C-alpha cells in the first residue's frame, strides 16, 4: 500500500482527497466488493476493515506532507505473539450488546486493539474448557490484527487456531 500512499501524497490534493484515493485502492486489497452486492452485515465488516487502515494511512500521508521518511516495519523489534498480546487491551464486555449472546465469549472490532470479554460466559467456559477460552483470545487477537470474520468464517478461524494451537 505504500506506493499508493506515495502516489496519492504526490498529487498535492487536499489531505482528505488523498485519503479517499488510498482507501479506494485499499478496498480491493482488503477484499471489499461493491456495497450494493453484499448483505448489511458484510457492509459493516467491510467498513470496519477500511476504517482499521485509516490511522496508518493518515500517519503515512502526514509523514509525506512534512517531508519525513516513511517508517518501515522493524523486525528487530522482536515482536512475538505473546508480546503482541501484551499490547491488546482487554475490557469487561458484560455491558455490551454482543455479550448478550450466551455463545459469545469475546468480541472486537476488526483492527481495534480493544477486546471485550464477556466475563460471565468466558469464566464459565474457562472452568470446563480452558483450551476454548485460550483459542478465543487468539481468535480475537487475529481480529485486532485485521483478520475479518467473513470470509473466512468465525468457525473456520477458531478451527484453524485449534489446529495450530491445540484445544
Using CB under 5 A, list all residues that contact Zn ion. 149, 154
Give 45 or 149: the residue with its C-beta nearer to Zn ion: 149
The nearer residue to Zn ion, 126 or 158, going by C-beta atoms, is 158
E-strand stretches of the chain: 89-92, 106-108, 114-117
Provide the pairing of β-strand 89-92 with 106-108.
unpaired
- Tell me whether residue 31 or residue 154 sits nearer to Zn ion (CB atom): 154
Q: Residue holding cell 480452558?
A: 130
Q: How far is the CB of 143 from Zn ion (least distance, A)?
A: 5
Element counts in the chain: helices (H) and strands (E):
7, 3
Residue 122 CA to residue 136 CA, distance in Å, equals: 9
Amino acid at each position: 500500500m505504500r506506493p499508493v500512499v506515495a502516489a496519492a501524497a504526490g498529487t498535492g490534493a487536499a489531505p482528505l482527497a488523498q485519503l479517499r484515493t488510498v482507501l479506494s485502492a485499499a478496498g480491493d486489497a482488503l477484499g471489499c466488493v461493491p456495497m450494493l452486492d453484499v448483505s448489511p452485515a458484510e457492509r459493516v465488516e467491510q467498513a470496519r476493515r477500511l476504517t482499521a487502515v485509516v490511522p496508518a494511512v493518515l500517519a503515512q500521508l502526514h509523514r509525506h506532507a512534512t517531508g519525513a521518511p516513511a517508517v518501515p516495519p522493524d523486525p528487530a523489534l522482536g515482536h512475538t505473539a505473546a508480546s503482541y498480546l501484551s499490547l491488546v487491551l482487554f475490557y469487561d464486555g458484560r455491558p455490551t450488546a454482543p455479550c448478550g449472546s450466551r455463545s459469545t465469549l469475546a468480541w472486537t472490532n476488526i483492527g481495534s486493539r480493544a477486546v471485550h470479554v464477556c466475563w460471565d460466559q468466558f469464566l464459565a467456559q474457562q472452568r470446563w474448557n480452558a483450551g476454548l477460552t485460550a483459542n478465543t483470545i487468539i481468535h480475537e487477537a487475529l481480529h485486532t490484527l485485521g483478520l475479518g470474520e467473513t470470509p473466512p468464517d468465525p468457525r473456520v478461524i477458531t478451527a484453524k487456531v485449534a489446529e495450530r494451537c491445540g484445544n
